[in-house]
Amino acid sequence: MQHIEISKILTSKPAAIEITVKGWVRSFRSNRFIALNDGSTIKNLQCVVDFENFDEKLLDKITVGAAIAVSGELVASLGQGQDVEIQVEKIEILGEADPEEVKLTILSPKRHTLETLREQAHLRIRTNTFGAIMRVRSKLAFAVHEYFQKNNFHYFHSPIITGSDAEGAGEMFRVSVLDPKSPPLNDAGEVDYKQDFFEKESNLTVSGQLEAETYAMGLGKVYTFGPTFRAENSNTSRHLAEFWMIEPEMAFFDLDANMDLAEDFIKYVVKYALDHCADDLEFLENRLLQEEKNKPQAERSEMTLRDKLKFIIENNFKRVTYTEAIEILKRSKPNQKKKFKFLIDEWGADLQSEHERFLVEKHFKCPVILFDYPAKIKAFYMRLNDDGKTVRAMDILFPGIGEIVGGSQREERYDVLLDKMKAMDISEEELYWYLDLRKFGTCVHSGFGLGFERLVQFVTGMGNIRDVIPYPRTPGNAEF
């Protein structure tokens, strides 16, 4: 018999027909009540077994973690916590789970820390927490596509392997098939990448932006949504070596239009999660409340998870220039009392996450878009302002997260871009194609990048980015 998903069953009315469900046992109480979960929803289906009618050997195999199929009639539940349950007539053990071995894993029914769950990332998806996070992640990914498709953007697949460093920061993973023990050398004694697979140095992409710009110059509005890679040695709760980025790029958009789009986009996807992930968000909200109970009062958040999400949707993001932000930071208490690790004493300083979080969480108490940054601390492709020292860059800063979006209006003037590349030591030979865009029908254009995991962190309330991607890659860790 074809099985039905639990999410569908739980919204059905009792009916005098036999149905079949398949899932993993979460618990088996009193030899009578099986809590079955199949991943379709955070909720378990209660399956009621009249044990008198079943072989004891079969019942012994209904253990936590086992995969089973049960058939029976859907009836109104007499117990609390569910409207319907299955009165079991048939049980089939699909895959056993030895209780002795289960005991040694995170499948054992007790509280495990997130760190322990991370060590068994192949099993953690069977927990309520990770089921909820990953369903929300999936819905958010869909919402991203829906937003851009509805707004006439074209989905552009940027290459994963590239020969260029889009951010010019040199934080790339090399792609090579040369023998690491004895690579061929050139006359200068350096590794001869001409003999490598691509006949040049190549790497995993850090951003699809530059290629997206080429497509925006023909398709008008494009977006990428794919994995990006950074070999930065940042062991923080907000950095991954492999993360997913969404990068829209639009011809004829200036920085203001870019900021409008970013704000509208974020509000859309957050609302989508609120509208489509009610059960999972309720669970995650309670999880967060529990977690925060262990924290001192001052560190607990004033709003619940869903209130925070609603706040984002209902309020305008505050737009502030870098220069204004520096003034605020200079005068701020943590700066004057030397509480910041990096003190702000002059214009031009790069903002650290402690500063970003101060602006968002303490000063403005809402999402902030900082714009017009010093040219010196931003990438080469950003459009130079008339003051000659700031660029049309914007970062969106979120409470609890810090930077969630980085974007800019691009330098569309050939000469200005060329000068900038020369000054920043960016190879014009390698990026000839990028310069070409400024020769053939150049125009004002803009775009931004949103780190998908940081968005998932914000929506799920998870403190560590390693817990919102199935298999996190971080310095020293590429397990699974």
Which parts of this chain interact with ligand 4AD (CB under 6 A)? 166-167, 207, 209, 230, 239-240, 243, 245, 247, 403-408, 447-451, 453-454
Shortest separation between residue 393's beta carbon and Mg ion, angstroms: 9
Tokens of 197: 């697979």
Within 10 A of 406 (CB to CB), how many other CB atoms are there?
21
Binding segment toward Mg ion, per CB under 5 A, in 75-83, 281-289, 353-361, 404-412 = 404-412
305, interface contact from Mg ion, ligand 4AD, none, CB < 5-8 Å by kind: none
Closest to ligand 4AD by CB, 130 vs 253, is 253
Distance CA 73, CA 48 (A): 10
Distance CA 265, CA 20 (A): 41
**Which residue blocks in 224-332 are alpha helix, DSSP H?**
255-276, 278-293, 305-314, 322-331
Closest to ligand 4AD by CB, 26 vs 355, is 355
Shortest separation between residue 407's beta carbon and Mg ion, angstroms: 9
| 402 near Mg ion (CB under 5 A) | no
Q: One-letter amino acid identity for 40?
A: S
| 461 near Mg ion (CB under 5 A) | no
Closest to ligand 4AD by CB, 217 vs 405, is 405
The residue count of the chain comes to 480
Nearest to 242 by CA among 228, 257, 252: 228
Binding segment toward Mg ion, per CB under 5 A, in 52-60, 149-157, 403-411, 430-438 = 403-411
Shortest separation between residue 449's beta carbon and ligand 4AD, angstroms: 3
21, interface contact from ligand 4AD, Mg ion, none, CB < 5-8 Å by kind: none
Closest to ligand 4AD by CB, 42 vs 266, is 266
Shortest separation between residue 375's beta carbon and Mg ion, angstroms: 15
Contact status, residue 140 vs residue 456, Cβ threshold 8 Å:
yes
Shortest separation between residue 238's beta carbon and ligand 4AD, angstroms: 6
Closest to ligand 4AD by CB, 28 vs 265, is 265
Give me the residue label for tokens 């602006």. 359
Contact status, residue 178 vs residue 217, Cβ threshold 8 Å:
no
Among 23, 65, 248, 406, binds Mg ion (CB under 5 A): 406
461, interface contact from Mg ion, ligand 4AD, none, CB < 5-8 Å by kind: none
Shortest separation between residue 322's beta carbon and ligand 4AD, angstroms: 14
Nearest to 379 by CA among 240, 163, 206, 202: 206
Closest to Mg ion by CB, 126 vs 238, is 238
Contact status, residue 248 vs residue 434, Cβ threshold 8 Å:
no
Shortest separation between residue 406's beta carbon and Mg ion, angstroms: 3
Shortest separation between residue 326's beta carbon and ligand 4AD, angstroms: 19
Distance CA 336, CA 107 (A): 50
Distance CA 276, CA 282 (A): 12
Instruction: List, in order, residues 6 or more apart from 249 with CB less than 8 Å away.
Output: 156, 209, 212, 213, 215, 216, 221, 222, 223, 224, 445, 446, 447
Shortest separation between residue 261's beta carbon and ligand 4AD, angstroms: 12
Closest to ligand 4AD by CB, 148 vs 243, is 243
Distance CA 42, CA 387 (A): 54
207, interface contact from ligand 4AD, Mg ion, none, CB < 5-8 Å by kind: ligand 4AD
Closest to ligand 4AD by CB, 367 vs 451, is 451
Burial class (CB in 10 A: 0-12, 13-18, 19+), 275: exposed
List residues near Mg ion by CB under 5 A: 406
